[in-house]
Every structure is written in structure tokens, then in C-alpha cells.
Amino acid sequence: MINKLKSATEYLGELAILMAGVIESLFKGKFRGDLLLEQLAEIGFRSQPVVVITGAFTGAVLAAQSLFQFKIVNMETVGGGLVSTSMFRELGPTITALMLAGRVGSSMAAEIGTMKVTEQVDALRSMSIHPIDYLVTPRVLAIIISTPLLITLSCGLAIFASYLVGVHIFQVEAPYWNFHVQDFTDIGDITVAMCKGLVFGLLIVIISCHQGLKATNGAVGVGRGTTKAMVISSLAVLISNFFLSLLMQKIFPAGFIDT
């Protein structure tokens, strides 16, 4: 038990050191616009299909399940407000982050891990290029920019899909549905989604890049690092989401509850 606690503490310390290196690189390192654009395309643009699909069908099934219950008490019109609030505050950021952990996090760990075991990282050092400045910082900036945009896309598609389910399948009057979406959703809900997205994005990129930089033992080590990056990132997102939800509820109370 003590050894596991020690290992966990050492791991958190390594992540903190890597994050400190990224912060130092942001202020003192060379800005690499070409690498940033490349990572924006990989993290942001190429992640859109999976985010669109997961967001739309999450909103659709959430609307269907809520309307099954609301229909019993004749409260179908509030289904849109429930979907909107739930997506911005919880499901949108969390599901998007989990998709990024699986798609982007594992890719980062595999790419950097391959460079590590083939000594390309050492080659960067020999050319006076800091690995964090070249490999990690562009990915951190790209995911900070991309994650809030992807969450917005996911929530928007979820709300639209829930509208189609509620209005065209459950025959809810469109004006009532739209009214409750606007009534229950405010800037606080959107702020919560953006704040969670920034935190989740940082967790994913730091954990994934750390696993890549620590890869050893050739292809086996890269495979293990890739798996660890995805698993640890996903767990970090789910655990941090709980504490962020408690904190954000104090700062930005849910409009659905206030109403």
C-alpha cells in the first residue's frame, strides 16, 4: 500500500514537472506556428466526425429517455431544457473528453513514444531543440484551443438532435420546446462547459505526452504507454469531473434548479 502511494505521488510529481516545463516553454521557448497548425488539424478538425456522432446520438437518446418519463406526468415540454443543461454541464464536456482521450491521447502517446524508443528525442536534444518545446507545447496549445470548440459542436448537435426527437417523434410543440431550452440554459452553463473542457484537455495532453516521453523497451513499451495514456486520461477526466461539478455548482448554480 505504501509503495503504491509512493508511486502515485512520484507520478503526479512527474506530471507537475512536465506541466512546469510547458509553462516555461510558453514564455521562453520558440513559437512553432507550423507545428501548432498541424496539431490543430489533427486534434480539432479530424476529431469532428466522432464528436458530431457521439454528441448527436447522446442528445437524441437523452431526450428520448427523459420524454418517456416526462410523458407520464405531462411535462414533455421541459425535455429540451433538461437536455441542454445536462449536455453543457456534464455530458458534453465529459463525452467529448473521453473521445479525445481515446483518439487523440493514444495517438500522442504512440507518436512520441515511437520517437523516444527510436532515439529521435535524443536527436532533438543533440540539435539543441528542447523536446518539450518541440513535441509537447504545440499539442498543449492545440488541445486548449480545440477542446472548447469541439464541446460547443457536441452540445449544439445534441440540442438539435433532441429537438428532432422531441418535436417530430414525441410531437411536442416546437415553441414550448424552444422556450424551455432558452429558459433553462444561461451563460453559466456554457461557462461550466468551457472550464471543464480546458481542464480535461490539459489532463489528456499532459498524461499522454508523459507516457510517450517515458516509453521504453521498443514496440512493447510504446503499446503499453499508449494503453496507459488512454486509460489514465479517461479515469482522470471522470474523477476530475466530479470535483469540478461540485465546484462549478457553487460558482454557477444550474439554471434548471433555480427555475
* Confidence (pTM): 0.91
pLDDT at 258: 44
Does pLDDT of 256 surpass 90? no
Task: Record the cell numbers describing residue 64, joined without a space.
Answer: 428520448
Does pLDDT of 255 surpass 70? no
Does pLDDT of 259 surpass 70? no
Query: Over the stretch 22-37, which tens digit does the pLDDT of each residue have?
Result: 999 888 878 888 899 9
Calculated CA dihedral for residues 236, 246, 166, 186, nearest 10 degrees: -120
Task: Record the cell numbers describing residue 224, joined without a space.
Answer: 503499453
Confidence of residue 8 (pLDDT cuts 50, 70, 90): confident
Query: Over the stretch 55-83, which tens digit does the pLDDT of each residue have?
Result: 999 999 999 999 998 988 888 888 999 99
DSSP symbol at 90: I
Task: Record the cell numbers describing residue 131, joined without a space.
Answer: 523536446
Report CA Rg, the chain: 21
78: amino acid identity, one letter: V
Query: Over the stretch 91-129, which tens digit does the pLDDT of each residue have?
Result: 999 999 999 999 999 999 999 999 999 889 889 888 888
Query: Over the stretch 139-189, which tens digit does the pLDDT of each residue have?
Result: 999 999 999 999 999 999 999 999 999 999 999 999 999 998 998 888 999
CA 153 remoteness from chain centre? 12
Query: Over the stretch 189-241, which tens digit does the pLDDT of each residue have?
Result: 999 999 999 999 999 999 999 999 998 888 888 989 999 999 999 999 999 99
| Dist CA 142 CA 139 (whole Å) | 5
pLDDT at 33: 85
- How many Cβ atoms sit within 10 Å of the Cβ of residue 102? 17
